[in-house]
């Protein structure tokens, strides 16, 4: 049994399994999500469990098998953060238990830097979990801002880091300085502000200064932003250390083009698309960006309000749900035709 600390401080219990062959792969770990899930399954350390791979991908414990004469140990949820030993807190009616230390917790700090550098945020190629761990452990970085002060000479001395890899990372960091307002906002890691919300906020406020100055009332006028999310955003921009980080990031040269409010004039404005399965001729992110540039909203889940599902190879439950709801489904070729018609892509 292992307890992991996520970016937002969420403590996630992970079951360590005796390696077992399921659906063509060997599974040795499975998330248990939270304390309630452990109780629902009635799990104890030493249990024999049934494993499945949800959608042939995610290992999941479906139930325990009751056996006589098993030596079982009760699972005890930690009283303190397993990394920084700070107190844990649980908001009433929330299943998630969180570490209260915020960025003072090393685990949350590392996760925040990883999130900052992730593809959908600042898109820093070559900066994954291990490299971040190493940079933090060596005292080379403490916040995302420190990434931009790194030099090739500092990196080449690190374990398993050659000249090429170091140069690639420095180039990726330099390249990441040219970004978009929405990606920068996402990279800041404000609670409940993901890709879609960041995009809505930037399209509504247009500039960082206007967003920083926004009060609770005006924040709630943005699509998908209610009382709770507005409070998270408002609080974030009222904390001095967050403003210091933002200013420092701008000082190292992070910039983005001005946003023009033109969504209503685009051909797919008001349409919601969902991508599922593997695309062969283009990357998923490229397809998403292309649809968004035509004004479409690209959602992660299918509902009755979805206008169209793009199904690639090995499409899973999203395709089934779309068919059940009678939502139009197109394949990759049809998507390429659509993009070609709008002058965005030419078929090979």
Chain positions 238 to 267 lying near DNA, rule: CB under 7 A, are none
For the record, the structure tokens of 298 come out as 């690209």
Closest distance of CB 328 from DNA, Å: 14
Candidate list 1, 75, 140, 161; residue touching DNA; CB under 7 A: 161
Q: Which is nearer to DNA, 107 or 254 (CB)?
A: 107
The sign one gets for the Cα dihedral 150, 156, 157, 162 is positive
Contact flag: residue 54 with DNA (CB under 7 A)? yes
Candidate list 44, 63, 177, 284; residue touching DNA; CB under 7 A: 284
3-state secondary structure of 273: strand
Interacting positions 67-86 with DNA (CB under 7 A): none
Closest distance of CB 291 from DNA, Å: 13
Pair 132, 114: CB distance under 8 Å: yes
Closest distance of CB 118 from DNA, Å: 7
Stretch that binds DNA, among 10-18, 42-50, 68-76, 78-86 (CB under 7 A): 10-18
Closest distance of CB 217 from DNA, Å: 13
Interacting positions 107-126 with DNA (CB under 7 A): 111, 118-119, 124-126
Closest distance of CB 219 from DNA, Å: 9
Stretch that binds DNA, among 67-75, 92-100, 209-217, 255-263 (CB under 7 A): 92-100
For the record, the structure tokens of 249 come out as 């990031």
Distance, in Å, from the CA atom of 124 to the CA atom of 183, rounded to the nearest integer, reads 12
Residue with tokens 């695309």: 279
Stretch that binds DNA, among 31-39, 79-87, 136-144, 249-257 (CB under 7 A): 31-39
Using CB under 7 A, count the residues that bind DNA. 92
Candidate list 215, 304, 347, 348; residue touching DNA; CB under 7 A: 304
SS (HEC) of 35-48 = HHHHHHHCCCECCE
Q: Which is nearer to DNA, 57 or 251 (CB)?
A: 57
Q: Which is nearer to DNA, 80 or 305 (CB)?
A: 305
Closest distance of CB 68 from DNA, Å: 28
Distance, in Å, from the CA atom of 199 to the CA atom of 17, rounded to the nearest integer, reads 40
Cα 281 off chain centre by: 24
Closest distance of CB 175 from DNA, Å: 12
Pair 32, 15: CB distance under 8 Å: yes
Residue with tokens 């906020």: 201
H-only helix segments in 118-215 = 129-137, 144-147, 152-156, 163-176, 181-187, 195-205, 208-213
Residue with tokens 């990279």: 187
Residues near 320 by beta carbon (within 8 Å), at least 6 away in sequence: none
Interacting positions 189-228 with DNA (CB under 7 A): 189, 191-198, 220, 223-228
């Amino acid at each position: 049994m292992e307890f992991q600390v996520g970016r937002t401080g969420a403590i996630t219990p992970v079951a360590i399994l005796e390696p077992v062959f399921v659906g063509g792969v060997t599974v040795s770990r499975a998330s248990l999500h939270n304390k309630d899930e452990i109780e629902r399954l009635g799990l104890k350390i030493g249990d024999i469990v049934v494993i499945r791979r949800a959608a042939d991908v995610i290992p999941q414990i479906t139930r325990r098998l009751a056996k006589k004469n098993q030596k079982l140990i009760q699972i005890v949820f930690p009283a303190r953060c397993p990394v920084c030993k700070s107190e844990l807190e649980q908001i009433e009616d929330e299943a998630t238990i969180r570490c209260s230390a915020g960025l003072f917790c090393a685990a949350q700090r590392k996760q925040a830097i990883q999130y900052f550098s992730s593809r959908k945020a600042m898109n820093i190629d070559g900066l994954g979990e291990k490299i971040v761990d190493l940079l933090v452990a060596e005292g080379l970085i403490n916040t995302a801002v420190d990434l931009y002060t790194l030099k090739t000479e500092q990196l080449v001395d690190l374990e398993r880091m050659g000249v090429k890899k170091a140069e690639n990372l420095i180039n990726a960091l330099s390249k990441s300085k040219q970004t978009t307002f929405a990606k920068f906002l996402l990279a800041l890691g404000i609670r409940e502000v993901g890709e879609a919300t960041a995009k809505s906020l930037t399209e509504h406020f247009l500039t960082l200064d206007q967003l920083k100055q926004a009060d609770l009332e005006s924040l709630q006028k943005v699509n998908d932003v209610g009382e709770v999310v507005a409070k998270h955003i408002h609080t974030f921009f009222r904390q001095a250390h967050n403003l210091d980080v933002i200013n420092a990031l701008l000082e190292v040269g992070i910039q983005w083009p001005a946003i023009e409010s033109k969504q209503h004039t685009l051909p797919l404005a008001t349409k919601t698309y969902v991508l599922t399965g593997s695309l062969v001729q283009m990357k998923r992110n490229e397809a998403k960006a292309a649809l968004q540039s035509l004004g479409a909203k690209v959602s992660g889940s299918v509902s009755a309000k979805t206008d169209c599902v793009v199904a690639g190879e090995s499409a899973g439950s999203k395709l089934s749900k779309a068919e059940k709801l009678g939502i139009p489904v197109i394949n990759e070729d049809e998507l390429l035709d659509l993009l070609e018609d709008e002058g965005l892509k030419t078929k090979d």
